A and B are shown apart, each in its own frame.
Chain A
Amino acid sequence: MSAATTSGVPATAKVVVIGAGIVGNCLVGHLSRLGWTDIVLLDKGPLPNPGGSTGHASNFIFPTDHNKEMAYLTVESQNQYVAAGLNNTCGGIEVARTAERMEEFKRRMTSAKAWGIDARLVTPAEIKELVPFINDEILLGGYYTPSVSVVDSLATGTMMRDEAVAKGALKVFANTEVLDLLTEPAAGGPRIKAVVTDRGTIEAEHVVVAGGVWSPRIARMAGANIPLTPAVHQMADVGPIDILQESGREVAYPIIRDMDTFCYERQSAGSMEVGSYAHRPILMRPDDIPSIAESALTPTELPLTYDDFDPQMEQAIELMEMLGDAEIRYAINGLLSLTPDANPVLGETPEVRNLWSAAAVWIKEGPAIAQLVAEWMTYGYPHMCDPHGSDISRFYPHEKTEWHINARCNEHFNKTYGIVHPREQWASQRGMRRSPFYAREEALGATFFDARGWERPQWYASNEVLMAKFAGQCEPRTHEWDGRWWHPVINAEHLQMRESVGMVDLTAFNEFDFEGPGACDFLNYMCVNQVDVPVGRSVYTPLLNTHGGFRGDLTIQRLGEEHFRVITGAFDGGRDNYWFNKYMAEWNAAGKAAVTFTDMSQGMCTVGVWGPNAAKTMAKIVTDDTTAPYDLSPAGFPYGAVREVLIDGVPCTMFRISYVGENGWEVYTRMEHGLKLWDAIWAAGEEFEIIPVGIGVYAVTGRIEKGYRLMGAELESEYDPVEAGLARPKVKSPDFIGKAAYLRAREDADKNGPAAIMCTLSMDSQRCADGYDRFPTGGNEPILTLDGERILDAKGRVSRVTTAGAGPSVGKYLLLAYLPPQHAVAGSKLQVMYMNELYPVTVEVAGSTPLFDPADARMKS
């Protein structure tokens, strides 16, 4: 492979981007804007349309999304299309045929308010006025977004590419096939070395896979896994249609999304594009996609399978009668990328250093995601927004199999236009990971929620008997939406735990052991807080990115001089695992005192025991290895201490800590001892009426009363520890990731006050216009001034609900939200919007002081 120079491709490059679709094109543009040079862009197909999903995209953007990350990236992408002069604003209406959809529109109005998107609810008559050819008689109403647009994704990509070429930063090679990706051994695993093409080999420092539906196949050449599947989205172009032709414009009428039939109608000059997400999921393998030569159109424009599309035609004609006489001119099974959780797959692959994924990205979010990935490559972490939901390292091994990808994609494809509840549970791939307590929990009537494969009890039917005891404090919710994936028994579990004692299955935790002479220094480098604590002590600490925003938060137990155990949650285990290992490899490679990593998670189970009677319960069964009773008093076993003990003879690690505000312990043991441990605690607690407590208490009611922050909710990379109320009085002297930025943030806050402060708010009234109480789900509901205005802080971030939940012990419904200092004052009166209605709220606490038991007396008694 020495023909590089003669065959056209350079022998070396700083970065090779594979794929010239919307992502690859915008990525090379953004990289060049960030100062990168020596970039090579490859595509197997011709330009400007190499034959991937970009080429047949419908190219429209509906900006409203309930998910903050995707909403931000979509609106920011639309801005970039505007800046390119290739955004054609036409407006768009989502129309409802069902009452349930009308409810969903109220929720969309709420999200639109949060993100500052102009939108309004419209009547069937108003829809008819905007779209005269629609059958308004079958509609209940609509959700109208004037800013909906059609963009030119090919031209935008070409512009971004040309911009980089004009700067001399980029060389482009179309019709160039990638044959292999070469890696070389490096610290912590293989590192990308070169891209082998049919025109020669390019040695490269970085390689980005932006190959859309082919991405898994390309990544596999290097031994990496990009978990996505090509899937069919059916689309037909029908025309000519007089009224559309007479408009004389590419898009004169608002785009219609017929939400309840999962179908859209989008004008395309004189004809109408009808697209569907209603047909059966049709998944393909990347290797089964035809080549360019084998494709009648392009590889991602397969022949329409009419039988799947026919029902949509009938629905389309029902909505727009004129479509019936329009001719089917072009009809395809268009391929697009689906992932197991419907989010993009971005970032450095965990398997191969400097091999990046920028895949499973739609036109609506392409340009901004390209910028995000470019920032990630430049700064080590994106600045523009937290990529939490899109981070490729989020996947656990079982989630990267074709089996899992297909199961989940089959399940969520028809939810593309669906109404998805924030607490909605997956139906497929359940029971993948079960704790040793599972059989007991099942017998107690647990309702299980999925936590990345783990089955976790959310609440227990066995506790329903307590609902009479706490009558008036565990009422059902009137509105079905508020009560969906929820049960009033959660409040009873909460109150009983606060009154006596409860057991919580925490086996979904990840446990990472760091050992060796460098363990302490390495973890100090990774973490904000001082981890060099005495053996048998612990530390809670944020992890920051280089920019000073949150990258993680976790607790660390010091089990020995050179032995630390990191405890982190189920939802962030993959990301934390990747982050630690990436830096550990660099640490060891730099010749510093060595440190090793062992993932203990699969072998360990955990049960939390909390409540005023937790100590009495445990005192009956905890011994040291001589069978002598163990001193569990606050003096003998202080808060934050970690001890090796025997419980009914089972070797366990007890950790005195609490996420629910009660005295008690997390008890860890090996998986095989789990059932005996559970039974021992259960038996010991019987005289105290011990109950099983679900995650509904642990993660919501118990936590929110204590104001504890959660990664991915309150803790995101846009915010820093000062704003989150997690800054300690002093900063440790050793260097750590993000330290400089963190120090700047502290100085800034000292001078000017923080731009935002995490607050606990309570709802003054939950009474809706229909006369019953509503319960926000904590899905980014905006906090508004009394005038109904959005609240933006000095950094432009909007105040919104990050967590919502009942506070049974404080008798209030609580919300967590960042507020700028002028509003972050206890007693301050504001409003929250939920389902398009306003409710009065009061700031209870500004900062991290808990609303319940502010002095933490219960935990430390």
Chain B
Amino acid sequence: MRVLVCVKRVPAPGAKINITADGQAVDTAYLAFTTSPHEECAVEAAVQLVEQHGGESTVLTLGPAEADEQLRYAASIGVNRAVLLPITEHDWDPQRTATALAAAIGEIEARDGAFDVILFGNESADSGNFQVGVRVAHALGRPMVNGAKGIEVDGDAMRVRRDTGAGVEVYELPLPAVVGVKEGINLPRYPTLKGRLASKKAEVVQVVPGAEPGGQRMITLVQAAEQVSQTVILGQGPDAAPAVVDLLQELGVLK
């Protein structure tokens, strides 16, 4: 089976994100880069699908030349092929990105054969537009389920599970299909030393993306207001017990 997973290079979260003075980009001076947690799970899912069903997996990204790092990371945990759609801008709008991706996928499929499954993360960790995967599926004319928390492939069909507030939805899709993966579907593995070293030798194929800008424009980035939390020390040792009891009662934990 042939699996494609699409990822995006984003600043690693976990710390205060600074914005450049012109408000047009994230200040990456102190930041490492990664893919979103959803995409990490999508990559893991791609590797697992190939482990279960044979075939090969491909990782694809549209981004700056440095996104090579994210492709190799995917390679380091077992993805077989890597494709970079290089752009010189910091980011493309979702419409333009989806158009470019669909075109590139079409090109790859025309040469190497169709992908049975195309995986996306549910949304990117930086811009969070929630639409590239859907747009690509639409452009390719394939069915798609977002928010996937479980994937099973059985012959020519795929069963996708997702959680809703009310319960669990289960979809059956004919292959080829597109799935937007949500964090929690699996526990992504870490790369091994050998995997890391092998990924350095992986071939990254470049496909020049061509697409006109879409309708969405980023005007400016604004720093979110800092959430201030106050720590109150209730006391030390046994002396703190009455205050702890009061607080737990106030919270309704104790009645």
A residues touching B (Cβ–Cβ < 8 Å)?
238, 288, 290-291, 293-297, 302-303, 306, 310, 313-314, 316-317, 323-329
Contacts and interface: CB of A to CB of B under 8 A. Distances in A.
A310 B196 contact: yes
Contacts of A317: 193-194, 197
B190 A329 contact: yes
7 contacts: A291-B16, A303-B12, A317-B194, A327-B190, A328-B190, A328-B193, A328-B196
Contact of A328 (B18, B32, B191): B191
Interface string B191-202: 111101100100
A290 B192 contact: no
Nearest to B200: A310
B138 interface: no
Interface of B: 12-16, 18, 29-32, 69, 189-194, 196-197, 200
A324 B18 contact: no
Contacts of B193: 238, 313, 316-317, 323-326, 328
Contact of B197 (A291, A293, A295, A314): A314
Contacts, number: 58
Contacts of B191: 327-328
Given A302-B30, A303-B32, A328-B190, A313 B196 contact: yes
The 6 closest A-B pairs by CB, nearest first: A303-B32, A327-B190, A296-B14, A290-B30, A324-B194, A293-B16
A294 B223 CA distance: 13
A317 B193 CA distance: 8
Nearest to B76: A328
Nearest to B189: A327
B192 A325 contact: yes
A181 B18 CA distance: 28
B194 A296 contact: no
A296 B196 contact: no
B194 A293 contact: no
Given A294-B30, A303-B32, A328-B190, A310 B197 contact: yes
Contacts of A288: 29
B17 to A, nearest CB: 8
Contacts of A327: 189-192
A324 to B, nearest CB: 4
Contacts of B192: 238, 324-328
Contacts of B30: 290, 294-295, 302
Contacts of A295: 15, 30
A294 B16 contact: yes
Decide if the interface of chain A is mainly helix, strand, loop or mixed: mixed
Contacts of B196: 306, 310, 313, 328
A290 B29 CA distance: 9
B16 A313 contact: no
Contacts of B15: 290, 293-296
Nearest to A314: B197
Given A306-B69, A316-B193, A328-B193, 13 more contacts: A290-B29, A290-B30, A293-B15, A296-B14, A296-B15, A296-B31, A303-B31, A306-B196, A310-B200, A324-B193, A326-B192, A327-B189, A327-B191
Contacts of B13: 296
A327 B77 CA distance: 10
B16 A325 contact: no
A658 to B, nearest CB: 59
Nearest to B198: A324
A703 to B, nearest CB: 53
B89 to A, nearest CB: 24
A317 B29 CA distance: 32
Contacts of A290: 15, 29-30
A303 B190 CA distance: 15
Contacts of A238: 192-193
Contacts of B31: 296, 303
Contacts of A323: 193
B32 A294 contact: no
A803 B204 CA distance: 60
Contacts of A296: 12-15, 31-32
Nearest to A323: B193
A290 B16 CA distance: 10
A295 B13 CA distance: 10
A329 B189 CA distance: 9
A56 to B, nearest CB: 16
A324 B198 CA distance: 11
B237 to A, nearest CB: 14
Contacts of B197: 310, 313-314, 317
Nearest to A295: B15
Contacts of A329: 190
A361 B151 CA distance: 53
Among the interface residues B14, B15, B197, which one has the most CB atoms of the partner chain A within 10 A?
A: B15
A324 B32 CA distance: 24
A328 B196 CA distance: 9
A449 B6 CA distance: 60
Contacts of B194: 317, 324-325
B19 to A, nearest CB: 12
A325 B191 CA distance: 9
Nearest to A324: B194
A514 to B, nearest CB: 51
A561 B3 CA distance: 94
A310 B18 CA distance: 30
B28 to A, nearest CB: 11
B11 to A, nearest CB: 10
A310 B200 CA distance: 9
Nearest to A305: B32
B9 to A, nearest CB: 14
Nearest to A333: B32
Contacts of A328: 190-193, 196
Nearest to A293: B16
A303 B28 CA distance: 12
A842 B192 CA distance: 60
Contacts of B29: 288, 290
Among the interface residues A302, A326, A327, which one has the most CB atoms of the partner chain B within 10 A?
A: A327
A595 to B, nearest CB: 51
A302 B16 CA distance: 14
A144 B95 CA distance: 63
B40 to A, nearest CB: 14
B112 to A, nearest CB: 29
A614 B220 CA distance: 81
A123 to B, nearest CB: 28
A290 B32 CA distance: 12
Nearest to B33: A303
B70 to A, nearest CB: 12
Contacts of B69: 306
A573 B32 CA distance: 46
Contacts of A302: 30
A302 to B, nearest CB: 7
Contacts of A326: 192-193
Nearest to A313: B193
A310 B195 CA distance: 11
Contacts of B16: 291, 293-294
A294 B193 CA distance: 28
A691 B91 CA distance: 72
Contacts of B189: 327
A287 to B, nearest CB: 12
A238 B192 CA distance: 8
A198 to B, nearest CB: 14
Among the interface residues A288, A294, A297, which one has the most CB atoms of the partner chain B within 10 A?
A: A294
Nearest to B77: A327
Nearest to A317: B193
Nearest to B27: A294
A302 B31 CA distance: 8
Nearest to A236: B193
A335 to B, nearest CB: 12
Nearest to A175: B231
A128 to B, nearest CB: 21
A324 B191 CA distance: 10
Nearest to A291: B16
B12 to A, nearest CB: 6
